[in-house]
């Protein structure tokens, strides 16, 4: 079951193993996914595709803070 928090009008969705971004996120959401050695921050686009940083964060808290910073930046545009 995904967990969603809203920060600056942006949904940050934490997914568990086996949950897909496409099934649980909508455009402009940020998805946090633990895989391949860390926590990945995915930015969901209009077409359902996602973009991410080059490397994962080593902890959930670091990924969450990065997602919150991105949400703050996008809310100021």
pLDDT digits (tens, 9 = 90+) for 3-19: 999 999 999 999 998 89
Residue 77 has pLDDT above 90, yes or no: no
Tens of pLDDT, residues 58-72: 999 999 999 999 999
Which pTM does this prediction carry? 0.91
pLDDT at 47: 86
Torsion sign over Cα 58, 52, 61, 35 = negative
| pLDDT band at residue 48 using 50, 70 and 90 as cut-offs | confident
């Amino acid at each position: 079951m995904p967990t969603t928090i809203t920060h600056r009008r942006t949904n940050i969705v934490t997914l568990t193993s086996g949950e897909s971004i496409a099934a649980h996120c909508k455009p402009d959401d940020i998805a946090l996914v633990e895989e391949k050695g860390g926590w990945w921050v995915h930015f969901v686009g209009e077409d359902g595709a996602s973009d991410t940083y080059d490397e994962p964060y080593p902890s959930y808290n670091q990924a969450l803070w990065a997602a919150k910073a991105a949400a703050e930046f996008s809310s100021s545009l």
